[in-house]
């Protein structure tokens, strides 16, 4: 087996095999993560709300979300009469691309990384902006007013929050002088960056919640206002792709936060990949906690918060960081 692998590597080159294997791994992680997260979300919601949550399907209801995804596969794919067909079909697949690409550059361990690109964080940020595009397409093509309002909200929200997101990460980049995620992770062997950059961490986390459209910033799909927001008209598998993307985005935001601020895979005793997942899921848990505790903010409050508070604060933080490093 190993010999075969070695010969294969010699024939097609080490990098290609690594990339292919990595992509397969990424697929497994993405799907597995979505299933685990839906289950986790329902369980966490249940316990926050003084009830048990799923428990009948499988032990502790673990198989529940798996059963649900099988059900979604079997549902009819409805296409409403007056949708913009090409765009309507495109949107769900388009939302999945940036999600997969982001996984490529995240280091799960010193070794476990599909490809270490020296502008890794730029790749993630550039591709994550594509999510907005597909939400806009979904909302526009659905020919539904609720969807349209939802997608328009989503666009202005993401534009507003991308800036503080970027600025807060920049202050870490200032310290490491590298855009590669691996280098940043390695730089935290001693003290985590969250202790150097607490403000940047907070700004990043808040902006990250907004980027993933989670409560209290879940305006694009505000249930009590817009029914289901931009995916109101999507059913079956197409809907579940949006769903999958949402949960994977949550994971990615938490993973970036871990990589940049919480020492990535660094930790004692346990192997790095375990540490990475523990830290990431701890952050994901906080995201879930937010959702089931907070009400939703209003649209103008949301934008004001970004433009009037987060962006100035992160600029100031960047200035101070630059000043201290210069001295």
Partner 1 sequence: MALETRVIEEFRSELRSVDINEAPYDKQGYHLAIEARTGNLQNIVDFFDKREFYIVDLFCVDYQDYLELVYFFNTHRELCRIKVTLKLDPEKPVAPTISNIYPMASWYEREVHEFFGVYFEGHPNLTYLFLHDGIDHYPLRKKHVPVPDEDKKLLNSFKPQEEEDCFFINLGPQHPSTHGVLRVVLKMDGEYIISADPVLGYLHRMHEKMAEKKSYAQFLPNPARMDYPGALLFNLAHVETVEKLCGIEVPERAKYIRTITCELNRIASHLLWLGSFPADLGGLTPFLYAFDDRENILDILEDVTGSRLTYCYFRFGGLYNDINEERFVSATKRFVERMRKRFDMYDKLITGNVIFINRITNIGIMEQAMIRKYGASGPFTRSTGIPFDMRKVDPYAAYGSIDFEIPTGHIGDNMDRYRVRMKEMEISLNIIEEGIKKLPQGPFKAEKVPKKLKPPKGDIYNAVESTRGETGVYIVSDESDTPYRMRWRVPSFSNLMTFPYLAQGVLIADAIATLGSYDIVVPEMDR
Partner 2 sequence: MTFGLACCAIEMMCTSMARFDIARFGAEVFRPSPRQADLMIVSGTVTKKMAPTLVTLYEQMPSPKWVIAMGNCAISGGPFVFEGQYNLVEGVDLLVPVDVYVPGCPPRPEGLLEGLMKLEEKITGTRRFPVPEPKW
18 token code pair: 């690594």
Mark 221-260 with x for binding to partner 1 (rule: CB under 8 A) and - for no binding.
Answer: -xxxx-x---------------------------------
> In terms of CB distance, is 10 or 49 closer to partner 1?
49
Which residues sit at the interface with partner 2, rule CB under 8 A?
A: 42, 46, 49-57, 61, 64, 67-68, 71, 74-78, 223, 227-228, 231-236, 239
CB neighbourhood size of 252 (10 A): 24
Asked if 100 contacts 30 with a C-beta cutoff of 8 angstroms, the reply is yes
Residue 74's binding partner among partner 1, partner 2, none (Cβ under 5 to 8 angstroms by kind) is partner 2
Q: Buried b / exposed e across 170-193, counting CB within 10 Å, b at 16+?
A: bbbbbbbebbbbbbbbbbbeeebb
Find the shortest distance in angstroms from Cβ 171 to partner 2: 40
Backbone angles phi, psi at 301, to 5 degrees: -65, -40
200 token code pair: 């940047």
Residue 145's binding partner among partner 2, partner 1, none (Cβ under 5 to 8 angstroms by kind) is partner 1
Residue 71's binding partner among partner 1, partner 2, none (Cβ under 5 to 8 angstroms by kind) is partner 2
> In terms of CB distance, is 61 or 98 closer to partner 2?
61
Which residues from 20-39 bind partner 1, rule CB under 8 A?
Answer: none
Residue 52's binding partner among partner 2, partner 1, none (Cβ under 5 to 8 angstroms by kind) is partner 2
CA distance 272 to 43: 27
Asked if 203 contacts 310 with a C-beta cutoff of 8 angstroms, the reply is yes
> In terms of CB distance, is 145 or 189 closer to partner 1?
145
CA distance 92 to 102: 17
CB neighbourhood size of 71 (10 A): 11
Q: Angle at which helices 14-48 and 2-12 pack, to 10 degrees?
A: 120
Asked if 212 contacts 326 with a C-beta cutoff of 8 angstroms, the reply is no
Residue 293's binding partner among partner 1, partner 2, none (Cβ under 5 to 8 angstroms by kind) is partner 1
Q: How far is CA 230 from the centre of its chain?
A: 18
Q: Residue 294 interacts with partner 1 (CB under 8 A)?
A: yes
CA distance 26 to 107: 12
Binder to partner 1 among 7, 93, 177, 293 (CB under 8 A)? 293
Find the shortest distance in angstroms from Cβ 144 to partner 1: 10
CA distance 68 to 63: 9
Which residues from 200-219 bind partner 1, rule CB under 8 A?
Answer: 215-216, 218
**Cα angle 141-143-149, degrees, rounded to a multiple of 5:** 90
Q: Residue 145 interacts with partner 1 (CB under 8 A)?
A: yes
**Cα angle 248-254-257, degrees, rounded to a multiple of 5:** 140
Which residues from 40-59 bind partner 1, rule CB under 8 A?
Answer: 48-51
> In terms of CB distance, is 44 or 255 closer to partner 2?
44
Find the shortest distance in angstroms from Cβ 167 to partner 2: 36
> In terms of CB distance, is 59 or 190 closer to partner 2?
59
> In terms of CB distance, is 9 or 227 closer to partner 2?
227
| Footprint of partner 1 (CB under 8 A) | 48-51, 145-146, 149, 153, 215-216, 218, 222-225, 227, 292-301
């Amino acid at each position: 087996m190993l010999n075969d692998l070695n010969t294969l590597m010699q024939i097609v080159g080490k990098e290609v095999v690594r990339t292919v294997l990595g992509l397969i791994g990424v697929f497994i992680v993405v799907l597995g993560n979505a299933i685990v997260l839906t289950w986790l979300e329902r369980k966490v919601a249940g316990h926050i709300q003084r009830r048990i949550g799923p428990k009948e399907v499988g032990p502790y209801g673990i198989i529940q979300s798996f059963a649900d995804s099988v059900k979604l596969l079997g549902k009819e794919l409805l296409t409403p009469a007056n949708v913009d067909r090409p765009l309507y079909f495109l949107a769900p697949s388009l939302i999945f691309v940036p999600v997969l690409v982001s996984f490529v550059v995240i280091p799960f361990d010193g070794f476990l990384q599909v490809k270490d690109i020296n502008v890794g964080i730029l790749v993630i940020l550039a591709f994550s902006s594509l999510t907005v595009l597909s939400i806009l397409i979904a909302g526009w093509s659905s020919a539904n007013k609720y969807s349209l309002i939802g997608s328009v909200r989503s666009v202005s929200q993401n534009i507003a929050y991308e800036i503080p997101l970027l600025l807060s990460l920049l202050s870490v980049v200032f310290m490491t002088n590298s855009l590669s995620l691996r280098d940043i992770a390695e730089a935290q062997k001693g003290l985590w960056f969250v202790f150097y950059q607490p403000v940047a961490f907070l700004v990043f986390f808040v902006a990250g919640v907004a980027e993933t459209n989670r409560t209290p910033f879940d305006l694009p799909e505000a249930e009590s206002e817009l029914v289901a927001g931009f995916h109101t008209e999507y059913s079956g598998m197409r809907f579940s792709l949006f769903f999958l993307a949402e949960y994977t985005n949550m994971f990615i935001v938490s993973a970036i936060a871990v990589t940049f601020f919480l020492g990535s895979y660094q930790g004692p005793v346990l192997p790095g990949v375990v540490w990475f997942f523990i830290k990431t899921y701890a952050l994901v848990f906080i995201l879930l906690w937010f959702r089931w505790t907070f009400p939703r903010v209003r649209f103008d409050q949301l934008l004001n918060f970004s433009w009037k508070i987060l962006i100035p604060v992160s600029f100031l933080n960047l200035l101070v960081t630059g000043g201290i490093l210069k001295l």
